[in-house]
Structure 1
Amino acid sequence: MQIAADIAAKAKKIKFLILDVDGVMTDNRLYYSDDGQEIKSFYTRDGHGMVLLKKSGVDIGIITGRKSNLVAKRCQDLKIEHLYQGVPDKLPSFLELVEKLGLELEQIAYIGDDILDLPILMRVGFSVTPADGEEEVKTRVDYTSSYIGGKGVVREVCEIIMRSQDTWQQHMDFYMRGLAE
Structure 2
Amino acid sequence: MAFSISTADARALRLMAFDVDGVMTDGRLHYGPDGETLKVFHVHDGHGLKKLAASGVTLAIITGRDTPMVARRARELGIEHVIQGREDKAVALADLAGRLGVGARETGYAGDDEPDVGALQWAQIAFAPANAHACARQAADHVTRARGGEGAVREICDALLALREAP
Shift of 1:94: 1.4
2 CA distance for matches of 1:47 and 1:69?
A: 17
CA offsets 1:36-68 (integer angstroms, 9 cap, x no match): 111110000000000111111111000000000
2 CA distance for matches of 1:91 and 1:6?
A: 20
For structure 1, the residue ranges without an aligned partner over 5 or more in a row are 168-181
Question: Where does residue 66 of structure 2 map in the other structure?
Answer: 67
CA offsets 1:6-38 (integer angstroms, 9 cap, x no match): 444432321111000000000000000111111
Determine if contact 2:120/2:140 at 8 Å carries over to the other structure: yes
2 CA distance for matches of 1:5 and 1:113?
A: 18
1:18 is paired with a residue whose SS is strand
Question: Where does residue 143 of structure 1 map in the other structure?
Answer: 142
2 CA distance for matches of 1:84 and 1:6?
A: 26
Counterparts in 2 of 1:49 and 1:40: CA distance versus 1, 3 Å: same
Task: Normalising by structure 2, report the TM-score.
Answer: 0.94
For structure 2, the residue ranges without an aligned partner over 5 or more in a row are none
Question: Where does residue 107 of structure 2 map in the other structure?
Answer: 108
Q: Percent identity?
A: 36
Determine if contact 2:10/2:164 at 8 Å carries over to the other structure: yes
Determine if contact 1:7/1:143 at 8 Å carries over to the other structure: no
2:122 is paired with a residue whose SS is coil
Question: Where does residue 152 of structure 1 map in the other structure?
Answer: 151
CA RMSD of aligned residues (A): 1.4
Question: Where does residue 174 of structure 1 map in the other structure?
Answer: none
* CA radius of gyration, larger in: 1
